[in-house]
Chain A
């Protein structure tokens, strides 16, 4: 059982570049989310989705876009990367008991 799969594991971007972080889950969870984790800040919610075709903003959505065309996939797009977006990004899906299952993370550096 793969759980939540994130790609890539590492990425270096230059300021202004765009990229998509991929996330897929095979647990048939309706709820999926993206977090960023920064030292001293903990995990902060970027965007979330309660089902295919439905997305909403979290605590820190600026600079990020998401879409949810299928239950399995929830990609996160950076349209014009900025150094402030250097962080570790985690995708997570949630079951009906509010338990989150995290991917292994993407370490992103924006130069």
Chain B
């Protein structure tokens, strides 16, 4: 079983839709959770960063962490064509740990 599971999609939505992206994980030691956005032929860039359980909102983006279910989500409100990218979840157990575990990424297309 992989440490982090993520539905690869692809996911296509109309402009303005609410998008939900999800990851599950198996290691209960994970405490830091991140979402990276990767445009085609580019490196991933950090989008959201949360510690432990709860919600974090940044503009149209909301990250949720449910440690009891080992489940994290990224919601995108009022999706835009510029949101079309691959979204990768990532997590790490503690500061200074040597590996960040990534999901395989979900490819999202927002249709104008």
Contact = CB atoms under 8 A, between A and B. Distances in A.
Q: Which of B8, B43, B95 has the most CB of A within 10 A?
A: B43
B104 A40 contact: yes
Contacts of A45: 99-100
Interface in B57-112: 88, 90, 92, 95, 98-100, 102-105
A96 B99 CA distance: 14
Given A41-B104, A42-B103, A42-B104, A100 B46 contact: yes
A66 B44 CA distance: 22
Nearest to B8: A40
Given A40-B8, A90-B43, A90-B44, A99 B103 contact: no
A40 B9 CA distance: 11
A42 B99 CA distance: 14
Interface stretch (A11-19, A68-76, A78-86, A102-110): A102-110
A54 B40 CA distance: 33
B34 interface: yes
Contact of A99 (B8, B46, B98): B46
Interface of A: 4, 40-43, 45, 48, 50, 56, 58-59, 90, 92, 94, 96-105, 107
The 10 A-B pairs at the shortest CB distance, nearest first, are namely A102-B43, A42-B104, A43-B102, A42-B102, A104-B43, A102-B44, A105-B43, A98-B32, A45-B99, A99-B46
14 contacts: A4-B43, A40-B8, A40-B104, A42-B103, A42-B105, A56-B98, A58-B99, A59-B99, A90-B44, A92-B43, A98-B92, A99-B46, A100-B100, A101-B46
